[in-house]
Structure 1
Amino acid sequence: MSRFIDRVVLHVSAGKGGNGCSSVHREKFKPLGGPDGGNGGRGGNVILEVDENVHTLLDFHFHGNAKASNGTQGMGSNRDGSTGDDLILRVPDGTMVLDKDGRILADLVGPGTKFEAALGGRGGLGNAALSSRARKAPGFALLGEDGVERELVLELKSVADVGLVGFPSAGKSSLVSVLSAAKPKIADYPFTTLVPNLGVVSSGDTTFTVADVPGLIPGASEGRGLGLDFLRHLERCAVLAHVVDCATLDPGRDPISDIDALEAELAAYKPALSADSTLGDLADRPRVVVLNKADVPEAAELAEMVTADIEARGWPVFTISAVSRTGLRQLTFALAKMVEDYRAAHPKAVARRPIIRPIAVDETGFTVIADPETPGGFIVKGTRPERWVKQTQFDNDEAVGYLADRLARLGVEDALVKKGAEPGASVTIGTVTFDWEPQTPAGVDMVRTGRGTDARIDQVERIGATERKHAHRIRRGLEGLEPEDQ
């Protein structure tokens, strides 16, 4: 049995960039071929795209994790790695994308609309791209960057022209079934409808859609009943139709009080999309009142009594019976006219080519702060330093020297001196902690040595990687704990 799902949590992971290649051209009778390592390929993106053939978020309910493919590693002979394939996720029209904090990221309306949910990581540079006057044949390459990982909330808002609102058992589902070919569940108990039902109605040359939203009750805007879950499906409707049960036997209820209660809930409901580009507040939408169940004699008399009072509010009133189909023709033509008026006042936007406006990103800035957990230690925060550390092969001295040169040119060395860093101070960049050695002449021309080595690093008594890791665990209080406690 199919299920209607209109809110899901989706975990997306873009592909990782491929590592660069460290290679030297070797060919008979061609000595000194030079570096020829290619760059790694970019990781694939995760893209959400509106598909008019998709009507629910059911697939994401059962498959809440999506990951794009990784880029491949660069190869010798200047061959770059291939780019990872983008993962395109099909979503229904009217899907709204939020982050885990509730901030609006995208409002996907219209077939073909796309949103890049997660960007793939950049591939690492090969040693051919890293060669320079100082490093004519680098013995290292850069690692690829990880793709973006994020948690998204997808909410579906039905895209319909007319929204039917009313108390439970008011006859909304019956009205949709006789106006269109839709076959919603109909029964004689409240809250029969648990999901919105959409039907397509044709009236002359006009075709429009009608949404039957589950019954509202007083307090729906505050979470009572089903209203809070489904009120958002009314946000995109051009016309709201009050379906009133004139044959109800509930004491204290009458058509006027039902309308007033529903109007209070619509006015109190605040759309999650505060800057929605659709139609504004629900209280400002055109209204039509449908007095249903006129096939019951007492209901027909009550409808005749309250018609004048409702018309005094400026709303058109129609007395109908979904069972005997009385008054449906007049109602259909009236709804079609209201929808046509709306469409004339709000012409459909013509699809345009996307305009790319690059946004300047300042990645040169960084900050140096004292490490609150390590006395005399410092933490360097910044987009570039953290990215460079992730790209570095720390088992390659030449790669470490290249990282030191980049940090020195950025000004990290001078900033640490100004902060009062002492030789051997613990410095953390991203997830890596190392001991600062200011006597290492970073940023100057290096002495040519073997591939994968750096003579400047050999000039100091640098602690090995294993010892640095051991000291780091002691500073963090992890040394000496049992494996299950770490």
Structure 2
Amino acid sequence: MPRFVDRVVVHATAGSGGNGCASIHREKFKPLGGPDGGNGGRGGSVVLVVDPGVHTLLDFHYRPHAVAKNGAPGQGRFQNGANAEDLELRVPDGTVVFSADGDLLADLVGAGTRFVAAQGGRGGLGNAALASSARKAPGFALLGEPGERRDLVLELRSMADVGLVGYPSAGKSSLVAALSAARPKIADYPFTTLVPQLGVVTAGEETFTVADVPGLIPGAAEGRGLGLDFLRHIERCSVLVHVVDCATYEPGRDPISDIEALEAELAHYTPALGGDLADRPRLVALNKIDVPDAQELVEIVADDVAERFGWPVFPISTASRAGLRELTFAMAAEVKAFRDAQPPPEPTRVVLRPTPVDDTGFTIEPDPEEADGWIVRGARPERWVRQTNFDNDEAVGYLADRLARLGVEDALAEAGAKPGCPVTIGDMTFDWDPTTPAGIAVMMAGRGTDPRLERSTRVSAVQRKMARAERRRHRSDAELALEAEREAAERAAAEEWE
């Protein structure tokens, strides 16, 4: 069973907002109580939070699906729905967040750092919030927005100052155990280290961390071995140390060829956080000088290694602890130089980016899949469509008003759209009717209906009253004569037609 996991895929689903309530106040002796529907609550978001007590992504390996709760719907008597609590996921320090396409989204460094992985949906407005001077008692409410769904890739990059690289069985784990209180697994066979190991080292007044990654071998860039999969843990390292096995009996290997082979593999690796591993300072640790043959080899090649690469060389032995003090203080000096070169931390600034004056908030483009069709893209139009209940005619009319006030109809006309052409906004497709007015002062009929959509030809009560008054009005002799002539002409025309 795996105990260390440094790369997982998380399926984050935020909570949906609660629906608004369409309610009319009903109380004895108050026949016109008015709308009193409350707003829906906000859906919970999925948030990643850095926790220093977490050291692996193992929990997400077994539970990759994170679902936040939905907001509560609104109720009558102006009762708003409750907001759902955010779902906080604890991640280790140094976690890097990528999108499903491989785009870098966040680098979570520092205890308490937060990143919203999936945003919760907004709650819908109730009819009390939608009431206006022209729409005094709305018979509809807005729906809650669905929560955001995202597939994210989490990768752990250890927060280490010094990274140890070398062939398998070169003594990297033994070096970490000799310099710190860490106790990694040590054995006399290759690939003993299967996961990165961290150790805290103190040298004088400097304290730094050392990371030991699984051994590299030639061809790691093509998938051989284990080391290339764990090189992400040395991306943050300010110093790289080549640990060279000077007591190996493998034919064709020597310290210079080992270092050149490892540098070739490091050159094939591209850090996702930017920068280049070639820019990091190097140190060379010629290990196992407690072995007589290795001691002789070190005396022969130490000067050649320093001249060939230009890096400081330190003969060491993790068994006898020879040379470890000099190597420790050299690593501390390089780490201190790197820290001193960093700019001082600045307080977080609040950046305000106002919307440009000429920004309409939407774009219009031809639909490639529909003849004479158009697509409207924009955060506000798409959100309004998601909030609309299309089973309610008045809600559809309210959506038409909002789109017209935003300028969508004018933009469609300028783009060349014709009446009846399909227009797609979000997941909905409409037949465009440019005669629909932006009815700010349109008198509504019964709740839940919109006379602009009904197109009713029924004679209203006002029209019937006017016709009755016209029939009862006293007419003069001239008017009666004209009316008789008109009726006679109509009868003659009807007889000729028959």
Which range, TM-score by smaller chain? Answer: 0.7 to 0.9
Secondary structure, counterpart of 1:295 in structure 2: coil
Q: Which residue of 2 aligns with 1:124?
A: 124
1:257 is paired with a residue of what secondary structure? helix
Q: Which runs of 5+ in 2 are unaligned?
A: 458-498
In structure 2, C-alpha distance between the alignment counterparts of 1:148 and 1:454, rounded to whole Å: 32
Give the deviation of 1:207 after TM superposition. 2.2
Deviations along 1:214-249, whole A, 9 cap, x unmatched? Answer: 111223344432232112211111111110000111
Equivalent position SS for 2:398: helix
Change (3 A) 1:436 1:333: closer
The whole-number CA distance in structure 1 between the counterparts of 2:422 and 2:282 is: 68
Amino acid corresponding to residue 37 of structure 1 in structure 2: G
Alignment of 1:310-325 (within 5 A): 310-312=305-307, 313-325=309-321
Give the counterpart of 2:452 among 448, 453, 456: 456
Alpha-carbon distance, 1:423 to partner: 5.3
Q: Which residue of 1 aligns with 2:277?
A: 282
Deviates more, 1:334-343 or 1:161-170: 334-343
Give the Cα–Cα distance (whole angstroms) in 2 for the partners of residues 338 and 422 of structure 1. 70
Q: Secondary structure of 1:236's partner?
A: coil
Residue aligning to 2:443? 447
Q: Deviations over 1:165-200 (max 9, x none)?
A: 101110111111222222212222222212111112
Matches within 5 A, 1:75-474: 75-274=75-274, 280-312=275-307, 313-346=309-342, 349=345, 352=347, 355=350, 357-358=352-353, 360=355, 362=359, 364-370=361-367, 372-373=369-370, 375=371, 377-417=373-413, 424-443=420-439, 445-459=441-455
Q: Residues of 2 paired with 1:354 and 1:121: CA distance?
A: 27
Q: Is the 8 A contact 2:23 2:127 kept in 1?
A: yes
Tell me the distance in 2 between the aligned counterparts of 1:348 and 1:92. 24
How far does residue 448 in structure 1 lie from its aligned partner after superposition? 3.1
SS of residue paired to 2:152:
strand
**Residues in 2 aligned to 1:88 and 1:354: alpha-carbon distance in whole angstroms:** 24
Distance 2:280 2:384 in 1: 54
- Deviation of 1:309 (Å): 1.8
Residues 446 and 456 in structure 1, CA contact (< 8 A), matched pair in contact too: no
1:155 partner letter = E
Distance in 2 (alpha carbons) for counterparts of 1:216 and 1:152: 28
By how many angstroms is 1:303 displaced? 0.8
Whole-Å Cα distance in 2 between the matches of residues 81 and 104 of structure 1? 36
Q: Is the 8 A contact 1:222 1:228 kept in 2?
A: no
**Residue range with higher mean Cα deviation, 38-47 or 444-453:** 444-453
* Matched-pair contact (CA < 8 Å) for 2:362–2:381: no
In structure 1, distance between residues paired with 2:328 and 2:369: 70
TM-score, normalised on structure 1?
A: 0.87
Residue 324 (structure 1) shift: 2.5
Larger Rg: 2
Specify the code of the residue in structure 2 equivalent to 1:235: E
Q: 1:199 to 1:443 in 2, by over 3 A?
A: same
Deviation at 1:376, TM superposition (A): 5.0
User: In structure 2, what is the Cα distance between the partners aligned to 1:356 and 1:46?
Assistant: 24
**Residues in 2 aligned to 1:343 and 1:47: alpha-carbon distance in whole angstroms:** 31
The alpha-carbon deviation at position 104 of structure 1 amounts to 0.9
TM-score, with normalisation over the residues of structure 2? 0.85
Q: Is the 8 A contact 2:198 2:210 kept in 1?
A: yes
For residue 237 of structure 1, give the secondary structure of its aligned residue in structure 2.
coil
Instruction: Describe the shift of the 1:339–1:433 C-alpha distance in structure 2 as closer, same or farther (beyond 3 A).
Output: closer
Residue 15 of structure 1: CA displacement?
Answer: 1.4
Equivalents in 1 of 2:331, 2:373: separation in Å? 71
Could you say what the CA RMSD is over the residues aligned between the two structures, in angstroms?
2.4
| Structure 1 residue 212, shift from structure 2 partner | 0.5
Give the conservation status (yes or no) of the 8 Å contact 2:134–2:440: no
Distance 1:41 1:58 in 2: 33
Q: Distance in 1 between matches of 2:429 and 2:410?
A: 18
Deviation at 1:377, TM superposition (A): 4.6
1:336-365 deviation line (CA, Å, top 9, x unaligned): 233233223336736x45635356385632
What SS class does the counterpart of residue 24 from structure 1 fall into? coil
Maintained 8 Å contact 1:185/1:192: yes
Q: Which residue is equivalent to 1:482?
A: none
Cα contact 2:364–2:374 (8 A) shared by 1: no
- Identical residues among aligned pairs (%): 68
Q: CA deviation at 1:103?
A: 1.0
Moved more, 31-40 or 292-301: 31-40
Q: Which aligned runs of 4 or more in structure 1 are off by greater than 6 angstroms?
A: none
Is 2:18 the counterpart of 1:23? no
- Separation in 2, partners of 1:333, 1:180: 14
Contact kept, 8 Å, 1:175 with 1:322, in 2: the verdict is yes
Query: CA separation in 2, counterparts of 1:329 and 1:194?
Result: 27
